[in-house]
Amino acid sequence: MQNIIIATLKEWNILNYFTLKKKYEKQYNFYLISNKEEFTYKYIKKIAPKYIFFPHWSWIIPKEIYNNYECVVFHMTDLPYGRGGSPLQNLISNGIYDTKITALKVTDGLDSGDIYIKTDFNISTGSAQDIFTKASDIIFKTIIPKFFTSNLSPIKQVGKIVNFKRRVPQESNLSTLKDTNLLKVYDFIRMLDADSYPKAYTNIKNIKIIYTDVKNLNSKLSGKFEIIEDKEPIENIYDKWNSLKQKIEHKNPILFNERDILFLSLGQNIGYEQYGKGDEFLRPVVVIKKFNKNIFLGIPLSSKLKNGFFFHTLSFKGRLNSALLLQSRTFDSKRIKYKLATLSHKEYNKLVKKYIESVTPSKEMESD
């Protein structure tokens, strides 16, 4: 059988990947890549895929990969209009609600490759999260299957080239909105309302008000807001963590066991890595595997419940938490501040089972 690679990092795409795999597993072997460390020419060469699809990929695709294998990306504009970053936000900002999902071949230029297929797509309602989920359904249930059932040949882009500029977090401030009216405010809030995106906000001195879940009904906007103290500069936070880390290094190890839920000084980490909160950068972590008296494998927890393949809801002391499976790592016992609880055997076994599923490769590779 021929091999297919899906390279993506978003939960909604990963869920659709498994649905696609189940439907076509008798015709193709499927491989999922969800991190850039795994996306190497050596690994791709072993698989020798017919297609590599990129429903949402934030990293550079090496030239040796797209020159040797058919690589397909997806863009939410009617190319060549709208090449570049933040297509959804740029479209809505320009009052464009009827667009296309374009499947195109990866080349040297940004969004400049030949086009396989375009599908109509409306973005006039719904949050960015809703729209991304809807787009994912179309990509996995309509567009990708056409590559399996039809002989799609890419054709060159035709029309006037319009380039989009990638937005920066500061542009999420509502004060940047010009010529405001209810529709523009509605569009502004919803187009930024998605996981890991900088939400719409306003500032009152050091207070930040964040807006989500906006609805436009009867000439009135309603939704949710969150009020927080605006964060201090990241450089200051790293300085505080570095100072605390030096003190932690001189602590004596604290005893622990598997199933323990411990508050650890997790620190201020990089990018999407989970970080701790408060003056001691604390976060609860459940011990999955004790390697020795100093080192263990742990999974950070969050009180904010999350759904998806890389999350697991567990219960302890009458409360629910999400285990952030994709944030698992080894920890030193010097990081332990105190023990919060012990997970029951039943909850622990369910967690371990889900964790093993989440880290098992989509297809076993032969060794070198």
3-state secondary structure of 79: coil
Do residues 104 and 184 touch, judged by C-beta distance below 8 A?
Answer: no
Structure tokens at 164: 């989009």
Q: How many CB atoms lie under 10 A from the CB of residue 38?
A: 13
CATH 2.30.30.110-classified regions of the chain: 234-359
Q: pTM of this prediction?
A: 0.67
- Tens digit of pLDDT for each residue in 64-113? 999 999 999 999 999 999 999 999 999 999 999 999 999 999 999 889 99
Q: In this structure, which topology does domain 234-359 adopt according to CATH?
A: SH3 type barrels. (2.30.30)
Task: Please state the rounded mean pLDDT for residues 184-204.
Answer: 93
Yes or no: domain 169-229 corresponds to CATH 3.10.25.20: yes
Phi, psi of 13 (to 5 degrees): -75, -35
pLDDT of the residue at 7: 95
Which residue intervals of the chain bear CATH 3.10.25.20? 169-229
365 has pLDDT over 60: no
pLDDT of residue 49: 97
CATH homologous superfamily of 2-164 equals: Formyl transferase, N-terminal domain (3.40.50.170)
CATH 3.40.50.170 in the chain, residue ranges: 2-164
3 state DSSP class of 45: helix
